[in-house]
Structure 1
Amino acid sequence: MTAQARSLPALFEGKVHTIAPFGKDAMQTTDDRYHIAAQEDRCAPRTKLTIPASLRASGGRAFQSVVHDLSISGFSAASINRMHEGQLCWLTLPGLESLQAQVVWWDNCIVGCAFSELLSPIVHDNILQRYSSTGIYRSAI
């Protein structure tokens, strides 16, 4: 391998690293690729719906909320409490365990969050089937 090939920059955990021929920087993990994609590509189809839920910000108490849109990568919901960009939170939907997310924006009592891990497409479709009034569960881009 040439010196030039070994020094090609690669995006890894939000920082620029040099690709090494062997070792931990040789390949990105699935988690690293998801983190990069979540920050760069917010084109997952979003579905408008109304789901009663509870939302809890890091260090706070859970409060009742309503999810207004949902995708496999995130959601927007009513938030009576001010939330800050980068803050961790947990969304609990009926019948599911809490889902960890990170606040991307907050405006006029609505919060937009990105899930820490993508929602399973099966779980996503099940939620849409239960709560969406459109009858459309997945759209092709």
Structure 2
Amino acid sequence: MISTQHSYANAAQEDRCAPRTKIAIPSQLRVSGSRAFKTVVHDLSLAGFSASSIGRLQADQICWLTLPGLQSIQGRIVWWDRSIAGAAFDDLLSQAVLEDILSRWEGPIGGGVTRSCLL
């Protein structure tokens, strides 16, 4: 039987303020007090991202995501589960920046983009 708290946590993960796009972008992630490490961004939206992280990350840790060719983007870790971390950007990305990132990683060279709206 699933606990009420666990059910709420799962439901909260699906309550997004912006549509997410599934993607695979090799990037770097740095958490406050640690060195940057290589990661892969698995989904991206105006409001945040999820990425691989073998080491456990704690909610509310400040982080910086560096996508290829861009300056670091500051955010906060929201969750970590089985080597995947989710984070919210401190400031929303502009639609133009998001579209530029996605267009650079579309197609067979970039690994492909699957757009979805999970609200």
Q: Which TM-score bucket, shorter chain as reference?
A: 0.7 to 0.9
1:98 counterpart = 2:72: yes
Q: Secondary structure at the match of 2:18?
A: coil
Contact 1:103 1:113 in 2 (8 A): yes
Q: Secondary structure at the match of 1:84?
A: coil
Q: Cα 1:134–1:56, aligned 2, differ >3 Å: closer, same or farther? A: closer
Number of residue-to-residue matches in the alignment: 99
Whole-Å separation in 1 of the counterparts to 2:34 and 2:26: 19
Offset of residue 57 of structure 1: 0.5
The structure 2 residue matched to 1:122, chosen from 74, 96, 99, is 96
Offset of residue 43 of structure 1: 3.1
Q: Which of the pair has the greater relative contact order for Cα pairs under 8 Å at 6+ separation? A: 2
Q: Identify unmatched segments of 5+ residues in structure 2.
A: 1-14, 107-111
Q: Identify unmatched segments of 5+ residues in structure 1.
A: 1-40
> Which residue of the partner structure matches residue 26 of structure 1?
none
Which segments of structure 1 move beyond 4 Å, counting only runs of 4 or more? none
> Which residue of the partner structure matches residue 84 of structure 1?
58
1:60 counterpart = 2:43: no
Report sequence identity in percent.
Answer: 57
| TM-score for both structures, normalised by structure 1 | 0.65
Q: Cα 1:134–1:93, aligned 2, differ >3 Å: closer, same or farther? A: closer
- What is the root-mean-square deviation of aligned Cα atoms in Å? 1.9
Write the deviation string for residues 63-101 of structure 1: whole angstroms up to 9, x where unpaired.
000000000000000012210011110000000000001
Whole-Å separation in 1 of the counterparts to 2:29 and 2:88: 13
Larger radius of gyration, structure 1 or 2?
1
| TM-score for both structures, normalised by structure 2 | 0.77
